[in-house]
Structure 1
Amino acid sequence: MKPCLQRRLFVLGTAAATLSMLVPASARREQERLVQVRARRFTFEPDEIRLALGVPVSFEFTSLDVPMGFNLPDFGVRSDILPGMVTRLRLTPDKAGQFPFHCDIFCGSGHETMSGMIVVS
């Protein structure tokens, strides 16, 4: 076999092997759901989030005015949400049902009503 042909075959083989390693990673990223949540006095938007059991989700939180918190006690996750920043939180729901979440950083009068629901089915 000519050296030029050997080199081409080597390059093609290496490229094919590299692509086969990348496909599973990109397939996993496509399965992860992105949920954007905006927090502002005294509400989360959306305030009801529907998720699929066992499907990973990546939350992106933003605050439109003051520091807030996100607390989802049934899954043992919480995070601060700061104005002007995006806060990311990953979760794979491992149980079905309705799970309340709430703001756990006092954000003013009306704070006690700042809550929502995650529904996993």
Structure 2
Amino acid sequence: MTQAPPTATYFQHLAEGRFMIQRSPSTGEWVFYPRMVAPVSGANDLEWVEPSGLGTVYAVTVKRAKPPAPNVSIAIVELDEGPRMMSHVQGIEADQVRIGMRVRARIVDGLDDNKIVVFEPEAAA
């Protein structure tokens, strides 16, 4: 029996309404983007675990759109568990997103009927 690729498993969890990332029980290393082997330790015992969903904006830029389309924030969020992921911060104007801002994950509809993880300011959650 072949195992589903890690990215397919990640998106299947999102489709079920669950934000899950990988963690190695032997090393404690948290992993994102989904993969077969942990990048730092080389551990291959990765399991799917639900993170807290909390994080901090590590870096941010604004993708400017031609009005009336809204500008979009593109952020690198460092999860409290350690991994960083690229996403959007929603719920506030794109120009208001700041490095160091505390955020909370939320699953929303993305393109092509796929679910994606976005973030919103923790205070707004």
For this structure pair, what is the TM-score category when the shorter chain's length is used for normalisation?
under 0.3
Higher strand proportion: 1
**Higher normalized contact order (CA 8 Å, seq sep 6+, divided by chain length):** 1
- Compare CA radii of gyration and give the structure with the larger one: 1
Higher helix proportion: 1
TM-score by length of 2: 0.23
TM-score by length of 1: 0.23
